[in-house]
Structure 1
Amino acid sequence: MAKLQQELDDVRSIELDNAFYVEDGTWIESLTVASNAEFDPEAILEDIPGASLFYSSEIPTGSDELEIRRLTILAKESYPFILSLVLRQEAIPNRIVLQNGVFEVVTTTRDWDQFRSMADEVQETLGEFELLSVTQNEEPGEPLDSGRLTEVLVSKLTDEQLAVLETAYNSGYFEIPREASATDLADELDVAQSTVSERLRTAERTLLELIYGPRE
């Protein structure tokens, strides 16, 4: 996020909507970027090592002076990554925004001791921490919006692939040991078993390509 802000001349804010950890410091991240000028996310990300774009959409604003884009990227985050610091303390990240070079983070913790532990780690690893406010609530608050990233992932699959994945998941096909067979899925969907197997393989390959990229 910080490198993306450096590459954008007129950025207003970058909000981390959600992130899934892949491996070896690599994350799938959903970002909302607000800028005072138009920008090409693909060209920008080409100049950032370890980052690649696989989805971008523009959010209409009705203003010629503001461009908002929702990006989903694959990014290798160097330690310390602010989200990983929050999650290591088992806190719930509610909002993470980078603006004017400063991260504003809203989190939910179980109690003051857990918050203090998280604050101490942020201070120790990032070198600076400022507490703006504390609120005691019965409800923990909403976590980072998973719906936006889910929307991107499912947009890459056909309706038939989504149907077979949902049926397979709900039937226990992916459990160990399996609670349903390909034949059971075929009967449920009223299609041939070979069709179920083909749709499952295609859907799984599509999801893996989103993470690892297409095979050469």
Structure 2
Amino acid sequence: MNSIMSTPLRIVNFSIIHKDGWSSETDKYGIVAEPLNKTYNRGAFSFYLLLWGSDTKRFIEDIKIKDQILNMEVLGVTKKFGILRLEHKNSNTITNLVKRYKGVILSEIISNGIEKWTIAINTKSLKKFKEKLSQYGEILNYTEKSPNEVIPPPVLTERQVEALKIALNKGYFDYPKRIRGEDISKLLGMKTPTLIYHLRNAERSILEFYLDNFIND
């Protein structure tokens, strides 16, 4: 049996003001955006986009007409929170740059017009990656660290995403609530304690990751 060769790996954290794209709109509307669960197709990639901020609805209206956005599905939205499903062009994106150098995106948070990334990448690719990255905008911060220090992004289950979508769409997070937990549980065909379990786990995963990677920067 062939042994597995050791491959040097580094965790890279960087903040960048992207010259192109929609990330600058987060500053305009006071939005924090977190892309999750990216999947790649030929010439494009799809992902969920979680939004927090002062005016998510106007932010969504602005970015949906951007050239880079091929398709947008609004899964749920209130004035201060939203979940989108986006299909995005590959060209001139940092996502595509990371993929080209066989890196892995561990987290990405966008706020105040600044993109904050954490990626894992082979040590041999670091020099070329950083050279190319500088062509995408102004790099504000760039550090490398051991893989043991990374905090992974949350991975929501299908049931958690489904519960969040309906809760948002039906006004469960509004004040006052426009729907009761009991009514949502009936729509999903589950018991109310099970619904609360899924919602709280999803909220906890998102908030813990947000607080650890954004507030404590």
- TM-score, L = length of structure 1: 0.52
Paired position in structure 2 for 1:110: 122
2:133 paired with 1:122: yes
Q: Does 1:57 align with 2:57?
A: no
Residue by residue over 1:70-117, the C-alpha shift from the partner in whole angstroms, topping out at 9 and shown as x without a partner, is 21122234x221111112111221111222222111112233x33233
Partner of 2:22: 3
Q: Distance in 2 between matches of 1:92 and 1:118?
A: 13
Per the TM alignment, residue 148 of structure 1 is displaced from its structure 2 partner at its CA by: 6.3
Structure with the bigger RCO (C-alpha within 8 Å, sep 6+) is: 2
Count of matched residue pairs: 145
Other-structure match for 1:32: 50
Tell me the distance in 2 between the aligned counterparts of 1:83 and 1:150: 27
Relative to structure 1, is the Cα distance of residues 127 and 9 closer, same or farther in structure 2, using a 3 angstrom cutoff? closer
Matches of residues 44-193 of structure 1 in structure 2 within 5 Å? 44-49=62-67, 50-58=69-77, 67-77=80-90, 79-111=91-123, 113-123=124-134, 125-138=135-148, 142=152, 147=156
Q: By percentage of residues, which structure has more strand? A: 2
Which 5+ residue runs of structure 1 have no aligned equivalent?
60-65, 156-216
Max Rg structure: 1
CA contact (8 A) 2:32 2:111 kept: yes
Shift of 1:21: 1.7
Q: Secondary structure at the match of 1:129?
A: strand
The one-letter code sitting in structure 2 at the alignment partner of 1:134 is: E
Superposition TM-score, scaled by structure 2 size = 0.52
Q: Deviations over 1:135-179 (max 9, x none)?
A: 21347763x6554689769x9xxxxxxxxxxxxxxxxxxxxxxxx
Letter in 1 for 2:86: I
Residues 44/72 of structure 1: CA separation in 2 closer, same or farther (3 Å cut): same
Question: Letter of the aligned partner of 1:34 in structure 2?
Answer: W
Q: Which moved more, 1:45-54 or 1:101-110?
A: 45-54
**Against the structure 1 CA distance between its residues 8 and 120, is the aligned structure 2 distance closer, same or farther, given a 3 Å change threshold?**
closer
Q: Is the CA contact 2:32–2:110 (under 8 Å) kept in the aligned structure 1?
A: yes
In structure 2, stretches of 5+ residues that fail to align are: 1-19, 165-217
Q: 1:121 to 1:36 in 2, by over 3 A?
A: same
Q: 1:107 to 1:42 in 2, by over 3 A?
A: closer
Q: Is the 8 A contact 2:29 2:59 kept in 1?
A: no
